[in-house]
Amino acid sequence: MDSGAGVFYQRIFSDKISGFINLGISGARNTDEIEYYDPYDQKTFIPGKVNRLFMFPLTLGVQYRIFADNIAETLRPFVSAGVGTTFVVAAPYEDGTGNQYDIFQSFGYANSYSRFGGFIGVGANFGSVSKSVMGVNARYYFIPFGGNGIESIKGSPINDFGGLFLTLSVSFLN
């Protein structure tokens, strides 16, 4: 499991419909990547690691409030959907001679890709509409890479960068 962060801008069009733009950042890796510690070199390493992968989904979406007439105004469940581009950055893990790159050093040798994708989701916002609002959201992203994918671990390319993303959001209204 990887963690990430992001920012968003939301515009309310009516009591039930709003639109938003969202930019996130997250790591991506194979599920069987395990980091080990070498006590002799005092370094961590991942056997077979080829690339450090990062993704930046930029999506434009719509959110539709459900049960608006049946639930209190401070609990606003919704469904959402969006489309956009995901930028994928593949930064090499080693320099070709077995020496591990520092994470910042590896960005100098990185390759970047962009892929079209989308998501569907459900969530709820909590709090007064006129003040700060907190929300939770579960989105399933569809981000196919195509071709042979990108290797994070040698021999195990990642062909789909999508999956379930759980988010916690805090917005400050003026």
What was the pLDDT predicted at 123?
94
What was the pLDDT predicted at 10?
86
The per-residue pLDDT for range 68-109, each reduced to its tens digit, is: 677 766 788 999 999 999 999 999 988 877 778 888 888 888
Closest residue by Cα to residue 145 from 103, 86, 99, 101: 86
Distance between CA atoms of 108 and 88, rounded to whole angstroms?
Answer: 15
What the block records as the tokens of 169 is 């959001």
Cα torsion 92, 156, 113, 34: sign: negative
* Mean pLDDT for the stretch of residues 126-133: 70
What was the pLDDT predicted at 113?
95
The per-residue pLDDT for range 8-63, each reduced to its tens digit, is: 888 889 888 999 999 999 988 888 888 888 888 888 888 888 898 999 999 999 99
Q: Which DSSP state fits 73?
A: T
Distance between CA atoms of 79 and 131, rounded to whole angstroms?
Answer: 22
* Residue ranges making up the domain that contains 20: 4-171
12 vs 127 pLDDT, higher one: 12
Whether 1 shows a pLDDT value over 60: the answer reads no
Q: Which residues contact 62 (CB under 8 A, 6 or more apart)?
A: 17, 18, 19, 20, 80, 81, 82
Predicted structure pTM score: 0.80
Distance of alpha carbon 149 from the chain centroid: 18
Q: How confident is the model at residue 144 (pLDDT cuts 50, 70, 90)?
A: very high
90 vs 170 pLDDT, higher one: 90
30 vs 161 pLDDT, higher one: 161
What the block records as the tokens of 134 is 């907190």
Q: How many domains does the chain have?
A: 1
What was the pLDDT predicted at 139?
93
Q: How confident is the model at residue 131 (pLDDT cuts 50, 70, 90)?
A: low
149 residue type, one letter: G
Distance between CA atoms of 72 and 65, rounded to whole angstroms?
Answer: 12
Whether 172 shows a pLDDT value over 80: the answer reads no
CATH number at residue 9: 2.40.160.20
